[in-house]
Amino acid sequence: MKKVLNSPGLKMTRITLMLALILSPFLLCNAVFAISDPDSSPTITKVKANRNLIETGDVLLYGDYFIPYASVPSTSASDSFIFRLLDGTTEKGIITPYSLMDNGYNRGCFSFYFSAADNLTWDVAYTIRISQNPSQFDDPTYVDYIMSSASYTGSTDQKDNQTELAINIIAMATRLENYYDDYDFLDTGPAGTVLSSPIGETYFRNVIYGVQGMASSLFMVQALELDTTDIDWTTNQTDTYQSRFAGTWVGENATATGEEFNLSAQSVMGLALILPICFGSVILSSIKWKKAEPGFVVSAVALIPALLMGWVPTALFATVYQTMGIYLAYVWFYSRG
């Protein structure tokens, strides 16, 4: 019995079975994951390039792709196709398509982003290559698209590039909506057209990493940096208001009247028009409602156009409003306590 169990033929059978068990996962993977070629050659269109979007010197290349499959494979396009950016034989970048609609096949968008540190050369005829992943195709091939100078924007200003990118993304989203009836990529916000939530935002966030910082106007909720720059406050604008009627009959008459009483034209108009309105409002309010607050409200409203017309001195306007603020603080915090 021992001789039978240890025979050379039986040992070979055991070794064969062990090798089959070890290699079977790899053989099964090749059999399960290999997919058929697209219905026709993939294409790349509408390629654009913008720069200085987040920092000076950065570059974003983006566009549309079409990997036609009438019968969509179950394997994600991110596992079966690879996008490469080539400068001759030098690979500058590599990405995979984002799989949302049709598992990433048929119509979609792509992008390559390079920071200033990557130092990508501007206005170069780069090659964008769509390659079949060797792990998914029996005989993998590729298709090349050569960029032209027309793809590159002529602007260097950051705001102009961000605006142009936003316009191009809206155009890309519109083309996707026309192709995919079940998906809405765009919506209408208070400031105009924005990416829909969650479909539009989700798709383009994954296609263009950092897109919210590059084209914030496309998002309903935007992250904005506060402007903390110190402001040098001046009276230049109110000085302009004060000379609004200079050289007109209103200004000449006000000046002539002021000279009779040794007053400025502003003081004349303030005493003749604005002061009666303010005092009259307070008096009438006190008589009718037994309180002065409604009259103060009318006075505050009357003082604003008076300043714009140049009929109230700036110092007087500021003093009155500061007094009103103090009074309101007293009413809110002390008079009822």
- The reply to whether 101 and 248 lie within a common domain is no
Report the pLDDT value the prediction gives residue 78, as an integer from 0 to 100. 96
- The reply to whether 170 and 304 lie within a common domain is no
What is the count of structural domains for the chain? 2
- The reply to whether 74 and 143 lie within a common domain is yes
The per-residue pLDDT string of the chain (337 residues; one tens digit each, 9 = 90 and over) reads 444 445 555 455 556 556 655 655 554 444 445 789 999 999 999 999 999 999 999 999 999 999 999 999 999 999 999 999 999 999 999 999 999 999 999 999 999 999 999 999 999 999 999 999 999 999 999 999 999 999 999 999 999 999 999 999 999 999 999 999 999 999 998 878 999 999 999 999 999 999 999 999 999 876 666 778 888 888 888 888 888 888 888 888 888 888 888 888 878 888 888 888 888 998 999 999 988 888 888 888 888 888 888 888 888 788 888 888 888 888 888 876 5
Asked if residue 97 is part of any domain, the answer here is: yes
Sign of CA dihedral 157, 160, 166, 172: negative
- The reply to whether 135 and 241 lie within a common domain is no
- Type and span of the H or E element at 118: none
Which candidate, 253, 272, 278, 266, places its Cα nearest to that of 314? 266
- The reply to whether 59 and 208 lie within a common domain is yes
- The reply to whether 77 and 114 lie within a common domain is yes
End of a domain among 218, 245, 274?
A: 218
Instruction: Report how far apart the first and last C-alpha atoms of the chain are (Å, whole number).
Output: 108
- The reply to whether 57 and 90 lie within a common domain is yes
- The reply to whether 105 and 194 lie within a common domain is yes
Burial-class residue 196 by CB neighbours within 10 Å (0-12, 13-18, 19+).
buried
Report the pLDDT value the prediction gives residue 319, as an integer from 0 to 100. 85
End of a domain among 191, 218, 245?
A: 218
- CA-to-CA distance for 72 and 49, rounded, in angstroms? 30
Stated pTM of the model: 0.60
Asked if residue 55 is part of any domain, the answer here is: yes
Three-state SS annotation for 125-189: CCEEEEEECCCCCCCCCEEEEECCHHHECCCCCHHHHHHHHHHHHHHHHHHHHHHCCCCCCEEEE
Q: Which domain holds residue 298?
A: 236-333
Asked if residue 274 is part of any domain, the answer here is: yes
Asked if residue 302 is part of any domain, the answer here is: yes
- The reply to whether 56 and 113 lie within a common domain is yes
The residues facing 130 across adjacent strands are 83, 143
Report the pLDDT value the prediction gives residue 29, as an integer from 0 to 100. 45
- The reply to whether 130 and 257 lie within a common domain is no
End of a domain among 187, 218, 249?
A: 218
Asked if residue 192 is part of any domain, the answer here is: yes
Asked if residue 8 is part of any domain, the answer here is: no
Report the pLDDT value the prediction gives residue 3, as an integer from 0 to 100. 44
How far does CA 246 lie from the centroid of its chain? 47
Report the pLDDT value the prediction gives residue 200, as an integer from 0 to 100. 95
- The reply to whether 134 and 263 lie within a common domain is no
Report the pLDDT value the prediction gives residue 2, as an integer from 0 to 100. 42
Asked if residue 304 is part of any domain, the answer here is: yes
The answer to whether the CB of 81 falls within 8 A of the CB of 132 is yes
Asked if residue 18 is part of any domain, the answer here is: no
- The reply to whether 182 and 48 lie within a common domain is yes
Report the pLDDT value the prediction gives residue 247, as an integer from 0 to 100. 85
